[in-house]
Amino acid sequence: MSKRIGIFSDFHCGHKVGLTPPEFYAGKRSWVMKQADRWQWFSKTVKEQAPFDACIFLGDLVDGQGVKNHSECIITDTNNQVDAVVQIIKEIGCDTNFMVYGTPVHVQEKSGHELEKDVADQIGCQIHGQIWIEVEGYTLDCRHHPAGNSQVYPANPLVKERESNVKWHDEGRQPLANIYFRGHCHRLYDVGQPNRWSAHAVPALQGVGTKYGRRLSNIVHEGFGVLDILPGMWPIWTVHEAPAWMETPFQL
Protein backbone atom coordinates (compact mmCIF):
# COMPACT_ATOMS: atom_id res chain seq x y z
CA MET A 1 0.00 0.00 0.00
CA SER A 2 1.24 3.50 -0.80
CA LYS A 3 1.97 6.00 1.96
CA ARG A 4 2.80 9.73 1.80
CA ILE A 5 4.59 11.27 4.78
CA GLY A 6 5.34 14.97 5.27
CA ILE A 7 8.59 15.86 7.06
CA PHE A 8 8.84 19.35 8.60
CA SER A 9 11.52 20.96 10.74
CA ASP A 10 12.69 24.18 12.37
CA PHE A 11 9.70 26.55 12.13
CA HIS A 12 11.22 28.84 14.80
CA CYS A 13 7.81 30.43 15.38
CA GLY A 14 8.24 33.73 17.17
CA HIS A 15 11.30 34.85 15.23
CA LYS A 16 10.95 37.56 12.60
CA VAL A 17 11.84 35.11 9.80
CA GLY A 18 10.26 32.07 11.43
CA LEU A 19 7.29 30.45 9.74
CA THR A 20 4.39 32.70 10.80
CA PRO A 21 0.61 32.32 10.29
CA PRO A 22 -1.16 35.54 9.21
CA GLU A 23 -2.73 36.27 12.61
CA PHE A 24 0.76 36.54 14.10
CA TYR A 25 2.49 38.78 11.52
CA ALA A 26 4.44 41.50 13.35
CA GLY A 27 7.49 43.72 13.27
CA LYS A 28 8.87 46.06 10.64
CA ARG A 29 7.11 46.28 7.29
CA SER A 30 9.99 44.45 5.58
CA TRP A 31 9.70 41.62 8.10
CA VAL A 32 5.94 41.34 7.64
CA MET A 33 6.32 41.20 3.86
CA LYS A 34 8.74 38.28 4.17
CA GLN A 35 6.47 36.55 6.69
CA ALA A 36 3.53 36.88 4.28
CA ASP A 37 5.53 35.69 1.25
CA ARG A 38 6.77 32.62 3.10
CA TRP A 39 3.34 31.76 4.48
CA GLN A 40 1.67 32.08 1.08
CA TRP A 41 4.25 29.75 -0.47
CA PHE A 42 3.99 27.28 2.42
CA SER A 43 0.19 27.14 2.51
CA LYS A 44 -0.06 26.74 -1.27
CA THR A 45 2.65 24.07 -1.52
CA VAL A 46 1.37 22.04 1.43
CA LYS A 47 -2.12 21.95 -0.07
CA GLU A 48 -0.64 20.82 -3.41
CA GLN A 49 1.17 17.92 -1.70
CA ALA A 50 -1.70 16.86 0.58
CA PRO A 51 -3.21 14.65 1.72
CA PHE A 52 -0.55 13.09 3.97
CA ASP A 53 -0.97 9.75 5.69
CA ALA A 54 1.27 11.03 8.48
CA CYS A 55 3.47 14.01 9.29
CA ILE A 56 6.70 14.12 11.29
CA PHE A 57 7.91 17.29 13.02
CA LEU A 58 11.62 17.34 13.78
CA GLY A 59 11.83 20.04 16.46
CA ASP A 60 12.64 23.71 16.98
CA LEU A 61 9.03 24.51 16.13
CA VAL A 62 9.19 27.56 18.43
CA ASP A 63 12.02 30.08 18.75
CA GLY A 64 11.41 30.39 22.48
CA GLN A 65 12.53 33.24 24.70
CA GLY A 66 14.90 34.74 22.17
CA VAL A 67 18.14 33.75 23.89
CA LYS A 68 20.12 34.05 20.64
CA ASN A 69 18.00 36.63 18.80
CA HIS A 70 15.97 38.50 21.42
CA SER A 71 15.73 41.75 19.43
CA GLU A 72 14.28 39.79 16.48
CA CYS A 73 11.45 38.18 18.45
CA ILE A 74 7.98 39.10 17.11
CA ILE A 75 5.93 36.79 19.39
CA THR A 76 7.22 37.44 22.89
CA ASP A 77 4.61 35.33 24.70
CA THR A 78 5.73 31.71 24.37
CA ASN A 79 2.13 30.55 24.80
CA ASN A 80 1.32 32.46 21.62
CA GLN A 81 4.27 30.79 19.91
CA VAL A 82 2.70 27.44 20.79
CA ASP A 83 -0.65 28.63 19.40
CA ALA A 84 1.07 29.68 16.15
CA VAL A 85 2.66 26.24 15.76
CA VAL A 86 -0.67 24.52 16.37
CA GLN A 87 -2.20 26.68 13.67
CA ILE A 88 0.56 25.71 11.22
CA ILE A 89 -0.03 22.02 11.91
CA LYS A 90 -3.76 22.51 11.40
CA GLU A 91 -2.99 24.20 8.08
CA ILE A 92 -1.12 21.04 7.02
CA GLY A 93 -4.27 19.14 7.93
CA CYS A 94 -2.98 15.67 8.79
CA ASP A 95 -4.68 13.55 11.48
CA THR A 96 -1.64 11.36 12.29
CA ASN A 97 1.36 13.30 13.60
CA PHE A 98 4.68 12.50 15.28
CA MET A 99 7.00 14.92 17.08
CA VAL A 100 10.54 15.00 18.48
CA TYR A 101 12.00 17.63 20.79
CA GLY A 102 14.20 20.41 19.42
CA THR A 103 17.12 22.35 20.93
CA PRO A 104 16.54 23.25 24.61
CA VAL A 105 17.72 26.86 24.16
CA HIS A 106 14.72 27.37 21.87
CA VAL A 107 12.03 24.98 23.03
CA GLN A 108 12.56 24.85 26.80
CA GLU A 109 11.80 27.65 29.23
CA LYS A 110 14.08 28.53 32.16
CA SER A 111 11.76 26.59 34.45
CA GLY A 112 12.39 23.46 32.38
CA HIS A 113 8.91 23.55 30.85
CA GLU A 114 8.88 22.03 27.35
CA LEU A 115 6.96 24.25 24.93
CA GLU A 116 6.79 21.57 22.26
CA LYS A 117 5.08 19.27 24.76
CA ASP A 118 2.27 21.85 24.84
CA VAL A 119 2.03 21.63 21.04
CA ALA A 120 1.92 17.84 21.17
CA ASP A 121 -0.81 17.92 23.81
CA GLN A 122 -2.93 20.32 21.78
CA ILE A 123 -2.73 18.30 18.56
CA GLY A 124 -3.06 14.98 20.38
CA CYS A 125 0.22 13.25 19.59
CA GLN A 126 3.19 11.89 21.53
CA ILE A 127 6.58 13.59 21.59
CA HIS A 128 9.97 12.03 22.36
CA GLY A 129 13.67 12.76 22.00
CA GLN A 130 13.98 10.18 19.21
CA ILE A 131 11.39 8.00 17.53
CA TRP A 132 11.23 5.01 15.19
CA ILE A 133 8.24 4.47 12.95
CA GLU A 134 7.51 1.25 11.03
CA VAL A 135 5.66 1.80 7.77
CA GLU A 136 5.12 -0.66 4.91
CA GLY A 137 8.19 -2.72 5.76
CA TYR A 138 10.54 0.23 6.37
CA THR A 139 11.73 1.68 9.67
CA LEU A 140 12.18 5.46 9.96
CA ASP A 141 14.61 6.86 12.54
CA CYS A 142 13.78 10.50 13.44
CA ARG A 143 15.58 12.96 15.71
CA HIS A 144 16.30 16.68 15.78
CA HIS A 145 20.08 16.69 16.15
CA PRO A 146 22.50 14.92 13.82
CA ALA A 147 25.93 13.81 15.00
CA GLY A 148 27.59 17.17 14.31
CA ASN A 149 27.71 19.45 11.29
CA SER A 150 30.30 19.81 8.53
CA GLN A 151 30.44 22.36 5.74
CA VAL A 152 33.11 20.47 3.79
CA TYR A 153 31.83 16.94 4.43
CA PRO A 154 28.08 17.31 5.05
CA ALA A 155 27.45 13.59 4.59
CA ASN A 156 29.62 12.67 7.58
CA PRO A 157 27.06 13.45 10.33
CA LEU A 158 24.42 11.41 8.54
CA VAL A 159 26.77 8.45 8.08
CA LYS A 160 27.57 8.66 11.81
CA GLU A 161 23.85 8.51 12.55
CA ARG A 162 23.61 5.29 10.55
CA GLU A 163 26.68 3.81 12.26
CA SER A 164 25.36 4.71 15.70
CA ASN A 165 22.00 3.12 14.99
CA VAL A 166 23.71 -0.09 13.82
CA LYS A 167 25.74 -0.21 17.05
CA TRP A 168 22.70 0.48 19.25
CA HIS A 169 20.86 -2.25 17.36
CA ASP A 170 23.73 -4.69 17.96
CA GLU A 171 23.39 -3.90 21.69
CA GLY A 172 19.71 -4.82 21.51
CA ARG A 173 18.59 -1.26 22.28
CA GLN A 174 17.26 0.25 19.03
CA PRO A 175 15.41 -1.09 15.99
CA LEU A 176 17.58 -1.13 12.87
CA ALA A 177 16.34 1.64 10.59
CA ASN A 178 16.28 1.95 6.80
CA ILE A 179 15.64 5.68 6.53
CA TYR A 180 16.97 8.45 8.78
CA PHE A 181 15.70 12.03 9.14
CA ARG A 182 17.49 14.81 11.02
CA GLY A 183 16.77 18.52 11.40
CA HIS A 184 18.66 21.32 13.21
CA CYS A 185 21.24 22.21 10.53
CA HIS A 186 18.82 24.17 8.32
CA ARG A 187 19.98 22.55 5.11
CA LEU A 188 19.31 19.55 2.94
CA TYR A 189 21.64 16.69 2.16
CA ASP A 190 21.21 13.00 1.34
CA VAL A 191 23.49 9.99 1.70
CA GLY A 192 23.03 6.23 1.67
CA GLN A 193 23.36 2.93 -0.14
CA PRO A 194 20.78 2.16 -2.85
CA ASN A 195 18.09 -0.28 -1.71
CA ARG A 196 19.69 -0.59 1.74
CA TRP A 197 19.50 2.67 3.69
CA SER A 198 19.24 6.41 3.21
CA ALA A 199 19.71 9.41 5.50
CA HIS A 200 18.36 12.91 4.97
CA ALA A 201 19.13 16.30 6.48
CA VAL A 202 15.84 18.18 6.31
CA PRO A 203 15.68 21.88 5.37
CA ALA A 204 14.27 24.49 7.73
CA LEU A 205 11.14 26.59 7.52
CA GLN A 206 12.87 29.53 9.17
CA GLY A 207 14.18 31.98 6.61
CA VAL A 208 17.60 33.55 6.18
CA GLY A 209 18.23 36.82 8.00
CA THR A 210 19.08 36.28 11.67
CA LYS A 211 21.74 38.12 13.66
CA TYR A 212 23.04 34.75 14.81
CA GLY A 213 23.38 33.74 11.18
CA ARG A 214 25.84 36.58 10.50
CA ARG A 215 28.60 34.54 12.11
CA LEU A 216 27.91 31.41 10.06
CA SER A 217 29.13 30.49 6.58
CA ASN A 218 27.13 27.29 6.18
CA ILE A 219 24.58 27.06 3.40
CA VAL A 220 20.95 27.44 4.53
CA HIS A 221 18.12 25.63 2.72
CA GLU A 222 14.48 26.47 3.32
CA GLY A 223 11.53 24.17 2.71
CA PHE A 224 10.07 20.79 3.68
CA GLY A 225 10.15 17.21 2.40
CA VAL A 226 7.76 14.47 1.33
CA LEU A 227 8.48 10.74 1.57
CA ASP A 228 6.45 8.57 -0.81
CA ILE A 229 6.45 4.85 -0.08
CA LEU A 230 5.22 2.97 -3.14
CA PRO A 231 4.86 -0.78 -3.73
CA GLY A 232 7.86 -2.51 -5.27
CA MET A 233 10.34 0.37 -5.16
CA TRP A 234 12.65 2.20 -2.77
CA PRO A 235 10.90 5.15 -1.06
CA ILE A 236 11.08 8.47 -2.93
CA TRP A 237 12.27 11.55 -1.02
CA THR A 238 11.31 14.91 -2.52
CA VAL A 239 12.20 18.35 -1.14
CA HIS A 240 10.05 21.39 -1.83
CA GLU A 241 12.22 24.48 -1.49
CA ALA A 242 10.92 27.93 -0.64
CA PRO A 243 11.68 30.77 -3.09
CA ALA A 244 15.09 32.33 -2.52
CA TRP A 245 16.76 35.54 -3.64
CA MET A 246 20.24 36.56 -4.76
CA GLU A 247 22.11 39.11 -2.70
CA THR A 248 22.87 42.33 -4.62
CA PRO A 249 26.43 43.74 -4.52
CA PHE A 250 27.05 47.42 -3.99
CA GLN A 251 28.35 49.40 -6.96
CA LEU A 252 31.27 51.82 -6.75
Do 141 and 181 meet the contact criterion of CB atoms below 8 Å apart? Answer: yes
Q: What sign does the dihedral 19-208-52-161 (CA atoms) show?
A: negative
Go through the domains of the chain in sequence order and give each one's CATH number: 3-241 (3.60.21.10)
Element spanning 115, H or E? helix 115-123
Low-confidence ranges of the chain (pLDDT < 70): 66-70, 147-152, 211-216
Query: Residue 162: its pLDDT value, please?
Result: 97
Query: Residue 109: its pLDDT value, please?
Result: 86
Query: Residue 246: its pLDDT value, please?
Result: 85
Do 162 and 180 meet the contact criterion of CB atoms below 8 Å apart? Answer: yes
Query: Residue 70: its pLDDT value, please?
Result: 64
Question: Distance between alpha carbon 66 and the CA centroid of its chain, in Å?
Answer: 18
- Which residues share a beta bridge with 27? none
What is the rounded distance in angstroms from the CA atom of residue 181 to the CA atom of residue 251?
43
